[in-house]
Amino acid sequence: MKGVRKTKDLLYEQVARIGKVFSSPKRLELIELLCQGEKTVDTLAREASISVKLASAHLRELRVASLVETERQGKNIRYRLAGKAVADLWVKIHNLAEDRLVELQLALQKIAVQPDSLVPSDRSSLLKAARKGDVVVLDVRPAEEYLNAHLPFARSIPLTELRQRLDELPKDRSIVAYCRGPYCLMAIDAVELLRKEGFKSAHLRDGVAEWELTEIR
87-146 binders of a second copy (CB under 8 A):
88-89, 92-97, 99-104, 107-108, 111
**x-or-dash pattern for DNA, window 136-165, by CB under 7 A?**
------------------------------
- Of the residues 179, 186, 194, 208, only one is catalytic, namely 179
- Residue 20 found at the interface with DNA (CB under 7 A): yes
- Output the DSSP codes for 74-131: TTEEEEEESSHHHHHHHHHHHHHHHHH-HHHHHHHHHHPPPP-TTS--SHHHHHHHHH
70's contact among DNA, a second copy, none, with CB below 5 to 8 A by partner kind, is: DNA
Q: Output the smallest distance, CB 21 to a second copy, in A.
A: 8
**Does 184 participate in catalysis according to the annotation?**
no
167's contact among a second copy, DNA, none, with CB below 5 to 8 A by partner kind, is: none
CA distances from 66 to 61, 62, 63, 79 (A): 9, 6, 5, 12
* Distance, CA of 168 to CA of 162 (rounded, Å): 9
Task: Report yes or no: 213 and 205 within 8 Å, Cβ to Cβ.
Answer: no
Q: Output the smallest distance, CB 115 to DNA, in A.
A: 33
Q: Which residues are known catalytic residues? A: 179
